[in-house]
Amino acid sequence: MSALAKPLSTPPSPAPQSEWNVEAVRVDFPILSTRVYNRPLIYFDNAATTQKPLVVVDAISNYYLYGNANIHRGVHYLSEKATDAFETVRHQVQTFIGARSANEIVFVRGATEGLNLLAATLGRTRVKSGDEILISIMEHHSNIVPWQLLCEQTGARLVVIPMHANGELDQAAFEKLLTPRTRILALTHVSNSIGSINPVKHMIQLAHRQNTVVILDAAQSVAHMPIDVQDLDCDFMVLSGHKLYGPTGIGMLYGKGSLLDSLPPYQSGGDMISSVRIEKSTFHKAPQKFEAGTPHIAGVLGLGAALDYLTRLGMAAIATYENSLLAYATQVLTGIPHLRIIGQAREKSGIISFTIDDVHPHDIGTILDRSGIAIRAGHHCTMPLWESLGIVATARVSLGLYNTPGEIDHLAETLNGVRKVMGL
Ligand code: PMP
């Protein structure tokens, strides 16, 4: 631990090596042994996207090098192999999130596309003028704007659950805002900006009493804790592969079987139809009904490798390690003069947003960058959240399974010097 990070008393000790061999994990991620500006890379931008283990890249390149074929419609060996591999990943996703059936898993481009699919299809079937769609103030833009557009189209009203200053949603307000008019509750599981873990299971139970359909945005939770959709009882859930140590351009939409089947198609074209006549077409059942065109086959196979990888490490072990890192980082950062952590919910995932007095977050980001430390600075796609707090931007550190206490020490050391670099 560096001398500069001293205002601390004794920091909590991170998980013992015997429980989590972080050095062994790091070997799986070649990028972590590269240098930027001739400094060892320290990657703390995991909420934006995670790095990829070699097994994920291998799965993608093996497909293109030795298994490339289109799926579902080929009668030849390669096509059948590719189809099998693709559909196996659907079962892996089912197991990973505890869905009842693989047919409840739709492959999409990412959480954003999943949410747009839901806004478009629920919008056409379940939302009319006078209805309400309930979101929270801490939603990512991708869980705000599709609902705004839907409200404009239908005459429904967007209603927002406020937050307490500590970063926890105001549950009393939520209970008041939830009414028989609430058709949809679209809620993030974990805030990408301030790390709050929302009490979604309880909120889902309350919403179901009003017959409200609940969509969970699990983009920020699924890589960091075990998730069981049947236990949570959400109706839909959206996920992004690239935040799960998998490839970009692939995501998942989970939906309860009967609900998915009740929705109309989103995009249309090849692969989602069972017959096409000029007068009228008929469609496959879910999930194929929602997978028009050639999918991102390599992305799905890479995702499968990522899920295998995470399952081998164990989601509970990942959560335990990351929680210890979060506790350590919070304590270390709290000891830095002029630094203010925004969002101190009692239940938090490994995301720390902060400001330093008189220094713009972008300057914090640039100074850290020159020390080899990658963080995010800005509004993190949650502008309404910051507006509600009267803050324009923050710096954000987001942790992943390969981060180490030593990296946090280096972060603290550099942050301690930020005001000096700015001449303050
Ligand atoms: N929801 C949350 C909470 C997110 O953090 C993000 C990505 N930052 C998204 C949705 C959108 O995910 P994607 O860009 O992968 O579609």
Ligand 1 centroid from CA 48, angstroms: 8
Average pLDDT in the 382-392 region? 96
pLDDT over 70 (residue 223): yes
- Confirm whether 404 is domain-assigned: yes
Q: What does the CA dihedral 310, 316, 320, 325 come to, rounded to 10 degrees?
A: 20
Query: How confident is the model at residue 7, as a pLDDT?
Result: 37
Cα–Cα dist 224/27, whole Å = 20
Residue position matching structure tokens 């859930």:
237
pLDDT in tens, 114-136: 999 999 999 999 999 999 999 99
Q: Do 336 and 388 reside in the same domain of the chain?
A: yes
- Confirm whether 1 is domain-assigned: no
pLDDT over 50 (residue 23): yes
pLDDT over 80 (residue 4): no
pLDDT in tens, 305-332: 999 999 999 999 999 999 999 999 999 9
Average pLDDT in the 229-245 region? 98
Average pLDDT in the 29-35 region? 98
Residue 395: how many CB atoms within 10 A of its CB?
A: 28
Q: Do 336 and 304 reside in the same domain of the chain?
A: no
Q: Do 89 and 196 reside in the same domain of the chain?
A: yes
- 376 close to ligand 1 (CB < 6 Angstrom): no
Phi, psi at 138, each rounded to 5°: -100, 15
pLDDT in tens, 59-86: 999 999 999 999 997 799 999 999 999 9
From 137, 145, 240, the mutation candidate for ligand 1 (largest count of ligand atoms within 8 A of CB) is 240
Task: State the DSSP string of 214-255.
Answer: EEEE-TTTTTTS---HHHHT-SEEEEEGGGGTS-TT-EEEEE
- 188 close to ligand 1 (CB < 6 Angstrom): yes
From 140, 200, 248, the mutation candidate for ligand 1 (largest count of ligand atoms within 8 A of CB) is 140
Looking at 262, 295, 312, the residue that finishes a domain is 312
| Residue 242 structural domain | 56-312
pLDDT in tens, 252-293: 999 999 999 999 999 999 989 999 999 999 999 999 999 999
126 contacts 184 by C-beta, under 8 angstroms: yes
- What value does the mean pLDDT of the chain take? 95
From 50, 136, 192, 303, the mutation candidate for ligand 1 (largest count of ligand atoms within 8 A of CB) is 192
Query: How confident is the model at residue 261, as a pLDDT?
Result: 95
CB burial of residue 124 (10 Å; 0-12, 13-18, 19+)? middle
Cα–Cα dist 8/329, whole Å = 11
Looking at 312, 328, 344, the residue that finishes a domain is 312
- Confirm whether 16 is domain-assigned: no
Query: How does residue 12 score in pLDDT terms, banded at 50, 70 and 90?
Result: low
Cα–Cα nearest to 219, from 351, 390, 412, 76: 351
- Put residue 98 in one of left, alpha, beta given phi > 0 → left and psi -120 to 50 → alpha: left
Average pLDDT in the 323-348 region? 97
List, in sequence order, every residue forming a beta bridge with 135; answer none if it has no partner: 160
State yes or no: is 151 an active-site residue.
Answer: no
Structure-block tokens of residue 382 = 């949650």
- 112 close to ligand 1 (CB < 6 Angstrom): yes
State how far Cα 101 lies from the chain centre.
22
3-state helix, strand, coil in the chain (%, to 5): 45, 20, 40
Catalytic residue among 225, 341, 351, 381: 381
- Cα–Cα distances in angstroms (integers) from residue 235 to residues 136, 173, 179, 186, 209, in the given order: 17, 22, 18, 10, 13
- The DSSP H or E segment spanning 39 is strand 39-40
pLDDT in tens, 357-369: 999 999 999 999 9
Q: DSSP class of residue 278?
A: S
Average pLDDT in the 157-169 region? 98
pLDDT over 60 (residue 14): no
Q: Do 198 and 188 reside in the same domain of the chain?
A: yes
pLDDT over 60 (residue 5): no
Looking at 252, 281, 312, the residue that finishes a domain is 312
pTM, to two decimals: 0.95
Q: Which atom of ligand 1 is nearest to the CA of 48?
A: 8
